[in-house]
Amino acid sequence: MKKHLTNNLLTSGAILMGLLFVSVFVNYAPLLYYFLVVLFFLLIYTIKSILLIKLGTTPQRFLMIYNFMTVLKMLISIGFLVVCFFLLGDVTSNSDKIYFSLFFIALYFLFLIINTKSFFSNDNETAGK
């Protein structure tokens, strides 16, 4: 479990530092929503890790909880994106909404890849090489 939390914290920290770097040194001020997206995925994957470790005691139960959490994560992510679009509304331009959507999708897949690899990596994989 520490490995999953460490991966998520390091990923989130690196992305937040990148956003801060962009806002300080580049002539672009990302919206608050960009920072909220990073914290959103950190929260979602932390909860997912805790539930899988605590409740996924048997292989069948682990698979059931993993699949349920994956579907729930997708639905919550869609809801988060829709709520952000409603909140952004007329305040931002269409290009800002597109950049935000691309950022959201990129983080979605980044966290998905990192956490899937983390959950399903075998510690003995490197022993045979």
Q: Is pLDDT of 2 > 60?
A: yes
**The amino acid at 79:** G
pLDDT tens, residue by residue, 20-51: 888 888 777 667 788 889 999 999 988 888 88
pTM of the full structure: 0.81
Average pLDDT on 84-106 reads 84
DSSP 127: G
Comparison of pLDDT for 62 and 120, the residue scoring more: 62
Angle among Cα 112, 117, 120 to the nearest 5 degrees reads 120
